[in-house]
Structure 1
């Protein structure tokens, strides 16, 4: 496609520190099965090494769902390693960042809740992959390399199912999605790993068990408000468990709890209120203002021909050990609960939409198991033993179902391994995809 074509606009190359930066905007169908219908805008950022301006493309699929691509100030981590061979395209998946953003301010223009839900049903991995393949064609690229982190790995599996002809090689980190089954099986597995991660955390910081219980009980008895104005409840405090999904963020959780009460003893009864420093930090973790689609579509990304019916909430109730005021405190993880849409101002206007999507049963298939079983595209992936978001057992099951997939199983990383040690992980997976073996 000609760069001057209004369906693809790009900026001039900005040169900085030996690297080139350019933005692209593509006009693409909302529904790729109806190419003459409504269109949306999809944004991507190109980063290249000026010494290799015509390097082959590598496309990065961000984790999520609902997160925009990273905005790097300078190449670092896996991007720095990738630029030794590739031009990197950081894709804002549809509905995120600058790609026709979908949120409480934009969605009402679609109409009522039913219309909004119908619109958002086009924002899963299958549609994201169709966008990417259309972008590859627009850029005139031969089959390209893709890297998918977390939900980005789900997208990679959809890409292998829908358009393997567009792929040179596929790298997946912490993102081997289950190819079949209800989301319930995901939460039964990941909640068990979350409980184990809590046990590991409180073994490392034993005093934090009592401190966490004090904070939860304080929140039950006193009205504490985040800087944005919404009340911090005990079960919302549990959401800080999202920090347990990282190699180093487990320690950040401890440092955060240290800030809870102004008293140097950390005793709730000696403090009139939680500190502003604590509430400010908590707000950054528990608010979905920056990524509402994460909450709205989180369970839908697993669904194929079935409704989620608030899977995480049902499985949590089934477990019976996730009460915020229980004798033994447990942090939760990234699971989405229906009460989020009653307490988070960014989500309250989307409550009815979320309910409709939770009850939607006619989701189309995301994967083609038969095509994956005869796959010919080189694929290398990680599966982390203690990942609390993408269960190792389910990931291993998927790896065995993709012909030729090389799996690197390790306990050295948690879910955010690519962020923690990106250069090594990227280089290792690329070498594996090209014939190397997984590290011993």
Structure 2
């Protein structure tokens, strides 16, 4: 272990070895990385543990500097563990460079089947006794981290002191198709709100999409920018300042050149940065798999269900006069053609999309008998996680208390972290 200091904090790096498949603990092992953080003035104190599970899937835990965001509030009473979930950050990272070590696409897909919430929770339970001496800990789950926390309540509540969830109460039963059938209308509402705020973007978005339809456009980093890829910039609309960042990106789109109007290098660079999965390819690879339960394949659900909402067809929109609709947190087969970080993994992604026999993630009977204090922030009309699904799940978990708010978008824990965490702790403790 290595310890070091940042302003107001002491950090310690931890590395653990866990089974790839927890059903076969004697088999292949993988490495996990986690960063312990404690307030500098309490470094020698006996403190309860809080483990943070990042959203995603596919993102490593945030790299804080000092007591940023919600971390400062947590450090008032907890020793915090920032876990890089398996496949992310420094925990046996998954990408186009490392996956060929597994073999071909079939072997890669079989490997990635072990990177869902069920395996992540088993990882947590494997490392918890090494840190807490066997005592239960508090889990803070953001977005997909909340999906993991809900699974944790289903299979190992004895390891939990308290559960806090922000924007991450999953449906217990919905298929991937059900999730996206609920998502497209939310995306449309977010786009309508964006255009109401920035009406000049209606024509600008159409102009950009039309240019992309007529000109093959490749960014300086090799990303193929198609009308559909351009539409997926709408993922920003799920965050509190996303509408503003999208507007500023669009206003910088065109420059005059000797050959006529062209998309600017600045726009192409910014679009590539927003669209690239180079830093989090696991998000694209297993995104729909996180909803798999039972024998039904996810089958590129977002792409299939998109056909039920023809207003999202960019080329059809360009043939008419309506506004171009941006999309949100959806993964499509063409992502593995347009993004150079994903192209080598297209066959692997196809095999995951066709995979059946996914383990069931949630034990409804156990959740109905829950005794662990649970509090969840549910963001009204959350772009990424359906509010109706979340509230249905909240009613299915005994004792869970919700805070439903439209003050924040999906990134409330980042945007208002100390206040959000303080509210959830108070709810879980029955103080409000």
Please report the TM-score for the alignment, with normalisation by the length of structure 2.
0.96
Q: Is the 1:48–1:83 contact (alpha carbons within 8 Å) kept by the matching residues of 2?
A: yes
Q: How does 1:37-436 map to 2 (within 5 A)?
A: 37-53=27-43, 54-139=46-131, 140-262=133-255, 271-305=260-294, 306-325=296-315, 326=317, 327-436=322-431
Q: Is the 1:261–1:271 contact (alpha carbons within 8 Å) kept by the matching residues of 2?
A: no
- Once the 2 structures are TM-superposed, how far is the Cα of residue 382 of structure 1 from its aligned partner? 1.1
In 1, Cα distance between equivalents of 2:88 and 2:104: 21
SS in structure 1 of the partner of residue 424 of structure 2:
helix
In 2, Cα distance between equivalents of 1:294 and 1:178: 19
Q: Is the 1:224–1:273 contact (alpha carbons within 8 Å) kept by the matching residues of 2?
A: no
Residues 134-170 of structure 1 deviation map (CA, whole Å, 9 limit, x = unaligned)? 1101112510001000000000001111110000000
In 1, Cα distance between equivalents of 2:258 and 2:200: 16
Q: CA RMSD in A?
A: 1.4
- Once the 2 structures are TM-superposed, how far is the Cα of residue 179 of structure 1 from its aligned partner? 0.5
Structure 1 residues 190 and 342 mapped into 2: Cα distance closer, same or farther (>3 Å)?
same
In 2, Cα distance between equivalents of 1:269 and 1:414: 43
In 2, Cα distance between equivalents of 1:277 and 1:362: 45
| Alignment gaps of 5+ in structure 2 | none
SS in structure 2 of the partner of residue 227 of structure 1:
coil
Please report the TM-score for the alignment, with normalisation by the length of structure 1.
0.94
In 1, Cα distance between equivalents of 2:415 and 2:5: 27
Q: Is the 1:57–1:141 contact (alpha carbons within 8 Å) kept by the matching residues of 2?
A: no
| Alignment gaps of 5+ in structure 1 | 1-9
- Once the 2 structures are TM-superposed, how far is the Cα of residue 227 of structure 1 from its aligned partner? 2.0
The one of 22, 25, 30 equivalent to 2:20 is: 30
In 2, Cα distance between equivalents of 1:435 and 1:349: 51
| Structure 1 segments of 4+ aligned residues over 2 angstroms from their partners | 15-18, 268-272
In 1, Cα distance between equivalents of 2:259 and 2:431: 59
Structure 1 residues 269 and 47 mapped into 2: Cα distance closer, same or farther (>3 Å)?
same
Q: Is the 2:7–2:65 contact (alpha carbons within 8 Å) kept by the matching residues of 1?
A: no
Q: Is the 2:8–2:67 contact (alpha carbons within 8 Å) kept by the matching residues of 1?
A: no
Q: Is the 2:8–2:66 contact (alpha carbons within 8 Å) kept by the matching residues of 1?
A: no
Q: Is the 2:143–2:166 contact (alpha carbons within 8 Å) kept by the matching residues of 1?
A: yes
Residues 410-437 of structure 1 deviation map (CA, whole Å, 9 limit, x = unaligned)? 1111111111111100000011000133
- Once the 2 structures are TM-superposed, how far is the Cα of residue 269 of structure 1 from its aligned partner? 12
* 1:5 matched residue in structure 2: none
